[in-house]
Amino acid sequence: MHDVIVVGAGPAGLYAALLLAEEGRDVLVLEEHDEIGVPTHCTGVVSSEAYDLYKIPEHVVLHRPASCFMLSPGGAVCEFRSPREQIAVLDRAGLDRALAASAEEAGAALRTGCRVADVRVGPAWAEVQAGDGSVFRARAVVLASGVTYRFHRALGFGLPSAILHTAQVEVDARPGAALEIYVGRQVAPEGFAWLAPVTRNEQPRLKAGLLLRGDAWSHLSSFLARPSIAARLLAVPEEPVRRLLPLGPTRRSHGDRVLAVGDAAGLTKPVTGGGIFYSLLSAAYGAEALIGALDADDLSAARLSRYERRWRQRLAPEIRTGSWFRHLLTNLSDREFDTFVAALAADDVQAVIRQTARFNWHRAVILALLRQPGIKSLLLRSLFR
């Protein structure tokens, strides 16, 4: 019997496996796909703070943009720069493979092509049944299965409080430098579109994606067909990778002998949908809780609640504020988005953003923006619609 079985070999599951294996635990990782990192589920934009958790290999970095531009429907433009943080666009599949190699080097076992069909908890073990009939037992299970929530109801975890749709592609393109974010109801209802220039094998490419409520692929196709964007593409985009994205935590993320981390716990940044940092951070908290519980031979829900208390103390204020701010933005008309982006570009607001903005922690800058008269009045009007 293993100490821990990790279901899912994305960043959250692999980082949890790495930390547990480094402490001498017997860890088995089960991944449903045949190849680690495939399909690629996100654009892979992180800040230097992620390096405090895991030293990301340099070969995984595809681009280091110095700035990000936000563009409104009517053409207003705001530039964001982050002098305190370095931003990187990663090869997401490469990140997963690097984490897998680190976990295996630490002693974790990894099995691909193994789809988990059921998770059951007994009085002295947790049992994982694979689709091929194989059965594995461990003292505890980490659910790191991304947006697969088929086990959550039986375990009493519930579903994420909000879910949107995404689609993304990567295509050969003309060289670029900055990240770009496009807002507006016609671009992405209740969301936004983005472009992230990268260089892969010395070939300039463009990662393009869209987050919204509705048909992500049709909106992405329309977005890429815009003359100003189509002119930058050097190839016809392939079929996009489509997925659901949680934008709110599950009701619970722990139970007897089981923890959920990363997307499986609904942990992403509500404003941007970014999930890599929250995945790594929740995996670290989960591994810490499991190590103590394994040492004490107490894997009850009461003991593992320390994990949920830890992430809620750190992340819940950010998630609540981000969710509220996102709700205000979704009510803006295209004309109001023009006003909002123009207001963000004003010198006094830019000074506030430079003082308060952090890539992974949005609460401070949101509260600071709401103290700016023009932005405050605009967003408060949307609150009552």
Torsions phi, psi for 78 (to 5 deg): -130, 130
- Beta-strand ranges (E) seen in 107-191 are 109-111, 116-121, 126-130, 135-143, 163-172, 179-182
Beta strands in the chain (DSSP E): 2-7, 27-30, 45-47, 61-63, 67-71, 77-81, 87-90, 109-111, 116-121, 126-130, 135-143, 163-172, 179-182, 192-200, 203-212, 241-246, 254-255, 258-260
Helix (H, G, I), strand (E, B) or coil at 211: strand
* Contact between residue 301 and residue 259 where contact means Cβ atoms under 8 Å apart: no
Q: Print burial letters for 191-203: b (CB count within 10 Å at least 16), e (below 16).
A: bbbbbbbbeeeee
Report the distance separating Cα 99 and Cα 55, nearest Å. Answer: 10
Please report which residue ranges of 143-205 form alpha helices under DSSP H. Answer: 152-155
Q: Could you tell me the domains of the chain?
A: 2-64+86-160+247-315 (3.50.50.60), 163-245 (3.30.9.10), 323-383 (no CATH)
Q: Is 182 helix (H, G, I), strand (E, B) or coil?
A: strand
Question: Which residues of the chain fall below pLDDT 50?
Answer: none
pLDDT computed for residue 161 by the predictor:
87
Of 40, 2, 301, 291, which is closest to residue 146 (Cα–Cα)? Answer: 40
Helix (H) or strand (E) holding 368, with range, is: helix 363-369
The DSSP symbol for 173 reads B
Three state DSSP letters for 62-77? EECCCEEEEECCCCCE
Q: Are strands 67-71 and 77-81 parallel, antiparallel or unpaired?
A: antiparallel
The structure tokens listed for 252 are 């619970």
β-pairing, 192-200 with 179-182? antiparallel
Which residues have C-beta within 8 Å of that of residue 35, sequence separation ≥ 6? 112
* CA–CA gap between residue 116 and residue 108 (Å, rounded): 18
pLDDT, position 383: 67
- The string of DSSP codes covering 356-385 is H--SS--HHHHHHHTTSHHHHHHHHHHHT-
Task: Give dist(CA 223, CA 227) in Å, integer.
Answer: 9
Contact 89, 61 (CB under 8 A): yes
Joined together, the tokens standing for residue 140 give 């505890």
Give the integer Cα–Cα distance in Å for 150 and 157. Answer: 11
- Contact present, 13 and 37 (Cβ < 8 Å): no
End-to-end CA distance of the chain: 56
Identity of the residue numbered 115: R
Tokens 């190839």 label which residue?
235
Structure tokens at 282: 């929740």
Q: What is the pLDDT of residues 66-88, one digit of tens each?
A: 999 999 999 999 999 876 789 99
Q: What pLDDT, on the 0 to 100 scale, is given for residue 198?
A: 97
